[in-house]
């Protein structure tokens, strides 16, 4: 789910702090006026908050938005399998896995041990159902 807003027109340096009422879903977006949330449970109500701040640390009061994700229809996709490193010349080049299967396109997100608020990469393979 992408939360987006109209950028501030302040002449001061402005940043944004976005939070969601679940673990690992808060982030400063810098001056980027949007935030993408991953792995939200279907059919669940969430509350997001947005606060602006300037270079001096001054924060405006947060505004909130409550939304409900669409309920899932049918079975979830299968879990991806065979997570592996891809080495080129003995150096880790990329990370690969065998795609999930589902009747619809499937998105996969890979998270780092360092930062779980933003995925390292997202891929949407086109995988026809078997």
Other CB atoms closer than 10 Å to residue 79's CB: what's the count? 9
pTM above 0.85, yes or no: no
For 89-119, what is each residue's pLDDT tens digit? Answer: 988 888 888 888 887 777 766 665 554 455 5
Tokens of 56: 């001096």
Q: In this predicted structure, what is the pLDDT of residue 112?
A: 58
Cα(52)–Cα(64) distance, rounded to whole angstroms?
Answer: 12
Q: In this predicted structure, what is the pLDDT of residue 124?
A: 43
Residue of 125, 118, 123, 103 whose CA lies nearest to 38? 118
Summary count for the chain: helices (H), strands (E)? 0, 10
Q: In this predicted structure, what is the pLDDT of residue 116?
A: 47
Q: Reply yes or no on whether the pLDDT at 68 is more than 90.
A: yes
Q: Reply yes or no on whether the pLDDT at 29 is more than 90.
A: no
């Amino acid at each position: 789910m992408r939360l987006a807003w109209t950028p501030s027109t302040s002449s001061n340096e402005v940043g944004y702090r976005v939070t969601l009422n679940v673990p690992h879903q808060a982030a400063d977006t810098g001056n980027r006026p949007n935030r993408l949330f991953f792995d939200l449970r279907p059919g669940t109500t969430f509350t997001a908050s947005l606060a602006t701040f300037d270079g001096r640390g001054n924060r405006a009061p947060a505004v909130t938005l409550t939304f409900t994700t669409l309920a899932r229809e049918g079975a979830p996709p299968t879990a991806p399998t065979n997570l592996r490193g891809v080495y080129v010349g003995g150096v880790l080049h990329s990370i690969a896995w065998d795609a999930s299967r589902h009747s619809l396109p499937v998105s996969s997100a890979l998270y780092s041990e360092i930062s779980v608020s933003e995925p390292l990469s997202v891929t949407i393979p086109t995988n026809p159902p078997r």
